[in-house]
Amino acid sequence: MGKDLAERFAHARQRYQEAADVLGFDLAAVCFHGPEDELRQTRATQPALYVHSCILTDLLAERDIRPAAAAGHSLGEYSALYAAGAFTFADGLRLVKVRAEAMQHAGQVNPGTMAAIVGLDDEAVARLCEEMSDREVVVPANYNSPGQLVVSGHASAVKRAVEAAKIRGAKLARELPVSGAFHSPLMKPAADSLAAALKTTPLKTPQIPVISNVTGKPHADVETLRKLLTDQLLSPVRWTQSVSELARMGDAQWLEVGSGNVLSGLLKRIVAGASAITIGSAADLDKLTEEAKA
C-alpha cells in the first residue's frame, strides 16, 4: 500500500519520512514489505491508512481536485478532517498514533470482539443487542448500510447476539477478526487517552462540511470537534446517516480516497443510483486527471 506513490512522487516520500519521525518506526517499510502480521496491528494499521489517504488527498489537490464535502468511516474521519484543513498532517498523525495505541491497549484491558450482521433492520439489531447484554456489553457499532450492521462488546455477549441473529433470519451473522470491541463502552480507556491528546492539539474549524460519525451531521466549532472525536470511540459509526447527509447536499462526483473500495459498495446500497470513483494508486490518479481534463 502506497509503494507506487512513494516510487513516483517526492511528496509521498516526504510524507512517509514525516510519519517515521512522528511514529518512531519506519512506516513505509512496514507498508511496502511487511510482515503482514505487523501491519495488521492496530498501532500500524491506523497510521498506514491515514498516511496513505492524506498523500492521495495532497496529490489530488495538486491537480486542482478538491472536496466540496467529506466523511470518513471511523479512522477515515481523521483523513476527512485533514482534507478540510482541521489540522496539519503531522498533528493529525499524532492523534492517530495516540488513538491506535490506546485502542490496542483498551482491547487488552477490556477484551472484546465484533460481529457483522446482515439482513436484519437497524431497529431489530438494536433490540437484539439489548436482549443479549445480560450484564455484559453488546451494542451496535457500525451502521454501515441499511440491513448491514456490526455489533461490538464482550465476546460472550457478541456470540449470543450472533446466534440470536441467525435464529431471527439474518442472512449472515459472524464474528470478525479484530483485536477489540471498537466503538463500544469497552473503549473507555482509549477515549480518555484520546481526549487528553485532543486538548493539546491545535485544531481549526473545517473549511468544508465534514460529517461526524457520531451525529451524522457536519462538525461545527473546535470544542465540539474535540468532544465528537472522543465520543467516536464509544459510539456507533452512523455511516448510513452520514452518506445520506452528504447526498442531501446536492449532486456531485463521489470519490473514495484511500485503500480499497468497501465504501463505494456501501454507497450503492445507501444512495440509489450513486457510484464512486476509487482513488488508491498512482494509476487511479492519472485516470481521474485525464477524465477531469476531458
Q: Is 183 a known active-site residue? A: yes
Active-site position among 52, 53, 74, 212: 74
Signed CA dihedral, 223, 229, 230, 235: sign only? positive
Concerning whether 74 is annotated as a catalytic residue, the answer is yes
Question: Mind spelling out the 3-state secondary structure of 194-207?
Answer: HHHHHHCCCCCCCC
Alpha-carbon distance of 221 to 208, in angstroms, equals: 12
Longest dimension (CA), the chain: 60
Instruction: List Cα–Cα distances, 147 to 142, 225, 233, in angstroms.
Output: 11, 29, 22
- The catalytic residue among 79, 183, 193, 212 is 183
What's the burial of 7, exposed, middle or buried (CB within 10 Å: 0-12/13-18/19+)?
A: exposed
Q: Does the N-terminal peptide bond of residue 35 adopt cis geometry, omega within 30 degrees of 0?
A: yes
Catalytic residues: 74, 183
